[in-house]
Homo-oligomer: A and B are copies of this chain.
């Protein structure tokens, strides 16, 4: 009997991106490609609170049970809020600087009801007087690094942005997350629109108003010294004075907030001796939202930013590989 080359289509890993409001499960082939995927509403905060581990187990069975019935020996990896104190089992944070090795070393395991061990990726903590945390984004960042060998090994730093409800921006170097910061931009936009006086004069437009968005970005950039508190009221006063239509006020406010986020980011970059223009970031996330950031970055003189595709899947695969979860025969390089 001779040693066969592994069939690239042989299932080799089940991995789960298990966040606050939803979960996605992936069946990976031995070459790291995704054979099947499923999206589910069973986010950590969507599960019944009183359900405890049983609720996680049930959601896990719904998402992955059929795969495990066919291939009961497959390793399972999960990342995201599933490892938080409110998750299935808490995976303690690992401290910055962090690379894929450190994440692999920090995996914790929970045994599912059917006896399958589920490895959970730890979150990352930046300690200090203004501590910051991430859970799930570390896996996406590792995915972005895996997508770009120069980035993973080079000594030059790079900026990776993850727009969203809680946007994260990370400074990576030599394959490690060195520092990062959370900006509550998405959540702040939603509460300003839905629960403050600013929303009262807004009307939903049929299309996004890209000009109003860029105007908001420019006002924020100009108003860097004055800051967010001094500029957001202009959403209302420009309306009151007939200079901003109700349909455009939402996009203007979005531009203002993202502009102030980029102001903060520029300050963070100054701390590591570079600028946005010199350091076009990689962006990970929803394409429509990332397009807003690309537009805002151009207003800041930063033209070379680009999107990273499939960062979550790449990151899950990379950490599983690094942790030795995938049998040597199945594991492919890169």
Q: Are A131 and B234 interface neighbours, CB within 8 A?
A: yes
Q: How many chain copies does the complex carry? A: 2
Q: Are A230 and B191 interface neighbours, CB within 8 A?
A: no
Interface size on A, residues (CB 8 A): 48
- A69 at the B interface (CB under 8 A): no
- A279 at the B interface (CB under 8 A): no
- A318 at the B interface (CB under 8 A): no
- A231 at the B interface (CB under 8 A): yes
- Please report the C-alpha to C-alpha distance between residue A127 and residue B223 in the assembled complex, in whole angstroms: 16
Interface 1/0 per residue, A182-215 and B, CB below 8 Å: 1111011001101111100000000000000000
Q: Are B130 and A223 interface neighbours, CB within 8 A?
A: yes
Binding stretch for chain B, among A3-11, A55-63, A236-244, A301-309: A236-244
Interface 1/0 per residue, A305-317 and B, CB below 8 Å: 0000000000000
- Please report the C-alpha to C-alpha distance between residue A229 and residue B264 in the assembled complex, in whole angstroms: 8
Chain A binding surface SS class: helix
Instruction: Give A59 Cβ to nearest chain B Cβ, in Å.
Output: 22
- A155 at the B interface (CB under 8 A): no
A-B contact pairs, 22 of them (CB 8 A): A129-B219, A131-B240, A132-B234, A133-B237, A166-B197, A182-B233, A182-B237, A183-B233, A184-B197, A184-B232, A195-B195, A225-B264, A225-B267, A226-B264, A226-B267, A227-B260, A227-B267, A228-B228, A228-B260, A229-B260, A229-B264, A230-B267
